[in-house]
Amino acid sequence: MSENKTIDHLMEAFAGESQANRKYLAYAKKAEQDGKMNAAKLFRVAADAETLHALKEFEVAGKIGSTADNLKDAVAGETYEYKEMYPPFAKEAEAIGNKAALTIFNFAMKAEEVHAKLYQEALENLDQTEEVFYYLCPVCGNIEKSQPDKCNICGVLGEKFIKY
């Protein structure tokens, strides 16, 4: 076996573990809604376990660089998503009349553009020591540097934003 094949396997495992994490979090949320707290707890702990696997696989694959390199990678990834990935997804959803998919694709596309700008700003201010706070919209994933009155992407009230 070659080193490249092992790296490919590590990245495939990383993708699978990352997806399992999110899937289990979705299952946990549903179990909580159903009042099945033990199942919810199991899904959450399993999601955390999958995250541990994914993070180690990503690290061993050599995919974590300097903070500056990681920020550049994040800018590139977010830019790809809002410029290349989501527009055709939204166009297809609109063409078939799937309004729910169209809404989530448009929310994500607009939020990814904001994310790219924030990563670029962080890269440009990498040596800043003053603490920055971020506010996450729990509906569309928009991120702001101050709590807004309402989300400029989806319109949710600013009081619903989660502070980081």
pTM of the model: 0.90
Question: pLDDT tens digits, residue range 26-42?
Answer: 999 999 999 999 999 99
Equal fold, 3-60 vs 66-120:
yes
3 pLDDT exceeds 90? no
114 pLDDT exceeds 80? yes
Q: What number is the average pLDDT over the span 102-131?
A: 98
Domain 3-60 has CATH 1.20.1260.10: yes
Question: pLDDT tens digits, residue range 44-72?
Answer: 999 999 999 999 999 999 999 999 999 99
Give me the CATH topology for the region 66-120.
Answer: Ferritin (1.20.1260)
Contacts 24+ apart (CB under 8 A), 53-61: 53/13, 53/17, 54/13, 54/14, 54/17, 54/18, 54/21, 57/10, 57/11, 57/13, 57/14, 57/17, 58/10, 58/11, 58/14, 60/10, 61/7, 61/10, 61/11, 61/14
Q: Which class does domain 133-164 fall in?
A: mainly beta
Domain ranges of the chain: 3-60, 66-120, 133-164
